[in-house]
Amino acid sequence: MDVRDAIIGRQSIRAFAPDKPVARETIERILETAGRAPSGSNIQPWKVWVATGAARDAIVDACYARHMAGDQGEREYNYYPVAWREPYLGRRRETGWGLYGLLGIGKGDKPAMKLQHGRNFLLFDAPVGVFFTIERDMELGSWLDCGMFIQSVMLAARAEGLETCPQAAFCGYHDTVTRLLGVPADQQLICGMSLGYALDDAPVNSFRTSRIPVRAFTTFRDMPCTGEPQGL
């Protein structure tokens, strides 16, 4: 697969074929490929926990039950801005309403939104849950390394005909996830990920998010900047 196709064709998949398991060798190949991701001084700070079978089901059952009981859990780190502001708020809303709108979920339909959000904890029916952790004493740079590794996992999965959805949603239930996986206390959950074969024709999988143009986030300079910093 061409690199551009792998990157551009990746999208968060939110409906997986439940009855199509993923071979362990395939998962190992994906992780071996992703392990070529760069990291500062090649320290490779990522740790991966792969849940299949009864281990997967236990995480799904426990997290889904917490979600349905109205337990929002507690995150160990802020993934999102504490105070939302533009332009991020608008982009977030566009994505959220775009997804719910596609599914026919109206604004204010909280029960339907809760059910759809709850699909996170069912791993969107994926047979494999992948969980990424990092040792607590690692610094920001290592989180950056892990981000590159996680994107590499998503791209390497595509080379195997597999798709993914990265999921910060599990961070609220980090205590449940880490307990059921046996993650040592000196490690912290970064995020989860559904991994499996996309369910063909599932409407939710037709959701395509937009992107801002390059000029909106890039400044080209071919001369030193002498004055006050300029906004975009």
Is residue 12 a contact residue for ligand FMN (CB under 6 A)? yes
Both tokens of 223, joined, read 């001369």
Is residue 191 a contact residue for ligand FMN (CB under 6 A)? yes
Is residue 168 a contact residue for ligand FMN (CB under 6 A)? yes
Is residue 63 a contact residue for ligand FMN (CB under 6 A)? no
Euclidean distance between CA atoms 225 and 125, whole angstroms: 52
**Among 120, 142, 176, 188, which residue sits at the site for ligand FMN (rule: CB under 6 A)?**
120
**Among 95, 105, 122, 187, which residue sits at the site for ligand FMN (rule: CB under 6 A)?**
95
- Rounded least distance, CB 205 to ligand FMN, Å: 10
Identify which of 70, 61, 49, 78 has the alpha carbon closest to the alpha carbon of residue 176.
Answer: 61
Rounded to 10 deg, the angle between the 88-102 and 110-118 helix axes is 90
For residues 34 and 156, the answer to whether their CB atoms sit within 8 Å is yes
Is residue 11 a contact residue for ligand FMN (CB under 6 A)? yes
For residues 22 and 171, the answer to whether their CB atoms sit within 8 Å is no
Is residue 116 a contact residue for ligand FMN (CB under 6 A)? no
Is residue 167 a contact residue for ligand FMN (CB under 6 A)? yes
- Rounded least distance, CB 80 to ligand FMN, Å: 10
- Rounded least distance, CB 227 to ligand FMN, Å: 36
For residues 7 and 126, the answer to whether their CB atoms sit within 8 Å is no
Q: How far is CA 8 from CA 1, 45, 82, 136, in A?
A: 11, 27, 30, 33
Is residue 72 a contact residue for ligand FMN (CB under 6 A)? no
- Kindly indicate which of the ranges 18-26, 37-45, 63-71, 162-170 contains the residues binding ligand FMN, using the contact rule CB under 6 A: 162-170
Euclidean distance between CA atoms 140 and 143, whole angstroms: 5
**Interaction site with ligand FMN (CB under 6 A):** 11-12, 14, 95, 120, 165-169, 191, 209
